[in-house]
Amino acid sequence: MGIKTRKFFFVFFTVFAFGYAHCFAQNLDVDILKGINPRYPKSLYWRNTSNSAYYAAGAASFGTLIYGFVSNDATAKHNAVETFINLGASVLVTNIIKVGVNRTRPADRYPDLIFVNSPTHNQSFPSGHTSLAFATATTLSMQYNKWYVTVPAFAWATSVGYSRMYLGKHYPTDVLAGAAVGIGTAYVGHWFNKKLFQKRYQTSPKHD
């Protein structure tokens, strides 16, 4: 077998393997989503849980900032700045990936399998609600470093991710990617704030 022939078969089988893996992952994505998404996703609980991603993010940032100025609390002001940076980075990175990947929403691609009450026709990957929720939860857990903050925060963020699948808005991989983006941007933002406020971190016992 010549070199050109071997190269052809190598390229052919590589493309075939990647194509098969993509199809398998896509089918698994759809199968899991079908098991979560009901034919009539009308639950107000999951709809409100989904929308709470924006309310909680606003409360964590603006609420902390207002409290910091009202009480003249330097720690609260610093936490508010960090929260704004982390959540802003999460939104920015999420939207850049959305445009780059340009994945079709599950209900648009599989209208007979996945059901939504209010269709959304923009990009699907990753889930913006989920990335915002996990960025909020991760930021709060690092700022307060208490189990009674961390556990409820991540339980809530996970519920937001589940709600996006229940409502038929996102695939499971969209939600997983959203969680990864939220956690990742929060940690990077925390590192950036350590550099920005290095002297304060060195003197404050509340931060690692």
Q: Of 3-12, 73-82, 116-125, give the lowest mean pLDDT range.
A: 3-12
Q: Which domains does the chain have, with CATH numbers?
A: 37-203 (1.20.144.10)
Confidence of residue 42 (pLDDT cuts 50, 70, 90): confident
Q: With a threshold of 0.75, does the pTM exceed it? A: yes
Burial class of residue 163 (count of CB atoms within 10 Å of its CB; 0-12, 13-18, 19+): buried
Residue 100 tokens read as 């780059």
Predicted local confidence at residue 185, as pLDDT:
94
Confidence of residue 72 (pLDDT cuts 50, 70, 90): confident
Confidence of residue 207 (pLDDT cuts 50, 70, 90): very low
Average pLDDT, the chain: 82
pLDDT tens-digit profile of 128-160? Answer: 999 999 999 999 999 888 889 999 999 999 999
pLDDT surpassing 80 at residue 196: no
Predicted local confidence at residue 170, as pLDDT:
94
Q: Long-range contacts: 58-61, Cβ < 8 Å, 24+?
A: 60/87, 60/136, 60/139, 60/140, 61/87
Residues 6+ positions from 60 with CB-CB distance below 8 Å = 83, 87, 136, 139, 140
For the segment 120-124, the average pLDDT, to the nearest whole number, is: 84
Give 35-64 as a DSSP string. Answer: HHS-SS---HHHHHHHHHHHHHHHIIIIIH
Task: Report which listed range, 21-30, 68-77, 112-121, 124-133, is most confident.
Answer: 124-133
Predicted local confidence at residue 172, as pLDDT:
95
- Length, in residues, of the chain: 208
For the segment 25-43, the average pLDDT, to the nearest whole number, is: 84
For the segment 99-109, the average pLDDT, to the nearest whole number, is: 91
